[in-house]
Amino acid sequence: MSNETADREEWSSRIGFILAAAGSAIGLGNIWRFPYLAGEGGGGAFVLIYLLCVVLIGMPYLFGELSLGRNSQRNPVGAIKSITGGGSLWILVGGFCVLAGFVILSYYSVVAGWAVGYAVKDIIAPTMGFQEFAASPGLVIALLGVFLLLTFLVVVGGIEEGIERWAKILLPILFVLIFLVIIRAVTLEGAMKGLKFYLVPDFSEITFGLVVSALGQAFFTLSLGMGAMITYGSYLPKREDIAISGGYVVIFNTLIALMAGFMIFPAIFAMGADPETGPALVFVVLPKVFAQMPLGGLVSVLFFLLLSIAALTSSISLLEVVVSYFVDEKQWSRQKSVWIIGSIVFLMAIPSALSQGASGAFSNMSYLFGESGLFGQNNFLGILDYLIGSAGLAIGAFFLSIFIGWVWGADYAAEELVEGSSVMTQGLVSVWTFMMRYVIPVVVFGIVMGYVFGYL
């Protein structure tokens, strides 16, 4: 027996849901991952393909996950069970979602811990460069612990009092702050070159590998492919308009990513940094910009504080996927789920925390995967991000799109999508069902192949 649906919590208002779901979407993906991937992908070319992926694939697919969640009022495993009944192999896909929540949360918290550390860097490690900082074992593990603890405290608070309340307060502040940093960045000398790199696509850079990476980023940044949006959709009341709310989530999320680019690319070029720096990019470049700003010290503290907060509104959604599974399916209490799962995530995160120079065994795993690494990734964190955060999300999205489009059936899914919606006209419904059945699975399958054959 599952918990009674009637007891289940709901979002208290439309804006509460939008901010919570946008909070899930907006995070390290926008401010840390998007700029470094765009930097590696030639700038404008990546941005263009990324935007196409978000609008043409990510958004319709998001509507599918939200509809499945609201229809079943369940976590990803429960949602699939509610349609197939128990004993179907499809439940494995739900199981994958829960597992992906675990794994992504583990390494995500490490990077979020860096952000926390940078917010208080002047106090805890004023003289360290990024390399040294990320390679200090005690420091990074402690920071990771602090970040996870914050995540646990919000999720224990539940839907309305925890997740929704914090998202409402924190996201608007983030927005204003990024705006201030942009103003500084674009007025730096040499900023124009960065803007050009960021905005003018060089079409010769568009390769299959770039498309793979851009679509992977579209899924990551919208929290898709691992059931976070199924779970958040499960707390949506029937009167809510999935297309409108989901549309807002996409708009806010895209806006923040684009703004992050406006903040970082002018700065990279003005500071003579290398856009292809990889995952260290924002931690290396932004502090240099802050150093050149009036009140830069204060702006830096605020910025990394807000980055930590943006990461927090995402990490809670990762944890919520796992917690809702144990609450719905195993009848654990919310408290018990959070603390037990949380402890395991903390332990799982340690190898990632040590993988940026602190421990040789996790930092360079060529003894397992050879000199060129596993799909080009040599450290533990990079490998998890590739296997689960990139390829895994594409695989998850592939199976979930088949599930929604064919097993549940796009027509039934569309009924859910239309309920409470003022914008889903007959025409839009036909477009959406066509996308869900054919376009999304086919495109995503191509991308999965790209990952499997290491096409990046």
Q: Which of 16, 27, 60, 287 binds ligand PHE (CB under 6 A)?
A: 27
Query: Count of residues binding ligand PHE (CB under 6 A)?
Result: 15
Stretch that binds ligand PHE, among 25-33, 140-148, 232-240, 327-335 (CB under 6 A): 25-33
377: three-class secondary structure by DSSP: strand
Stretch that binds ligand PHE, among 19-27, 49-57, 334-342, 405-413 (CB under 6 A): 19-27
Are 301 and 7 in contact, with CB atoms under 8 Å apart?
Answer: no
Minimum separation from the CB atom of position 223 to ligand PHE (A): 3
Q: Which of 17, 21, 24, 174 binds ligand PHE (CB under 6 A)?
A: 24
Minimum separation from the CB atom of position 310 to ligand PHE (A): 7
**If we measure between CA atoms, which residue out of 141, 103, 143 comes closest to residue 121?**
143
Stretch that binds ligand PHE, among 117-125, 131-139, 159-167, 217-225 (CB under 6 A): 217-225
The residues, any chain, with a CB within 8 Å of residue 110's CB and separated by 6 or more, are: 140, 144, 349, 352, 353, 381
Tell me: does residue 400 bind ligand PHE (CB under 6 A). Answer: no
Minimum separation from the CB atom of position 6 to ligand PHE (A): 28
Q: Which of 245, 254, 277, 314 binds ligand PHE (CB under 6 A)?
A: 314
Are 325 and 336 in contact, with CB atoms under 8 Å apart?
Answer: no
Q: What share of the chain is helix, strand, coil (3-state, %, to 5)?
A: 80, 0, 20
Tell me: does residue 216 bind ligand PHE (CB under 6 A). Answer: no
Minimum separation from the CB atom of position 62 to ligand PHE (A): 11
Tell me: does residue 30 bind ligand PHE (CB under 6 A). Answer: yes
**If we measure between CA atoms, which residue out of 71, 419, 16, 447 comes closest to residue 239?**
419
Are 222 and 257 in contact, with CB atoms under 8 Å apart?
Answer: no
Measured CA to CA, the distance from residue 394 to residue 28 in angstroms comes to 18
Neighbours of 265 (CB within 10 A): 28
Strand partners, 377: 374
Tell me: does residue 104 bind ligand PHE (CB under 6 A). Answer: yes
430: three-class secondary structure by DSSP: helix
Q: H or E element: which one contains 108?
A: helix 91-119
Chain residues 223-242 in contact with ligand PHE, contact rule CB under 6 A: 223, 226, 228
Residue type for position 10: E
Minimum separation from the CB atom of position 246 to ligand PHE (A): 14
Are 348 and 341 in contact, with CB atoms under 8 Å apart?
Answer: no
Are 14 and 178 in contact, with CB atoms under 8 Å apart?
Answer: no
Site string for ligand PHE, 316-355 (x = CB under 6 A): -xx-------------------------------------
Minimum separation from the CB atom of position 218 to ligand PHE (A): 10
Chain residues 121-150 in contact with ligand PHE, contact rule CB under 6 A: none
Site string for ligand PHE, 165-204 (x = CB under 6 A): ----------------------------------------
Of 174 and 226, which CB lies nearer to ligand PHE in the complex structure?
226
User: In the Cβ-directed half-sphere of 34, how many Cα atoms lie within 13 Å?
Assistant: 33
Binding site for ligand PHE (CB under 6 A): 24-25, 27-30, 104, 220-221, 223, 226, 228, 314, 317-318
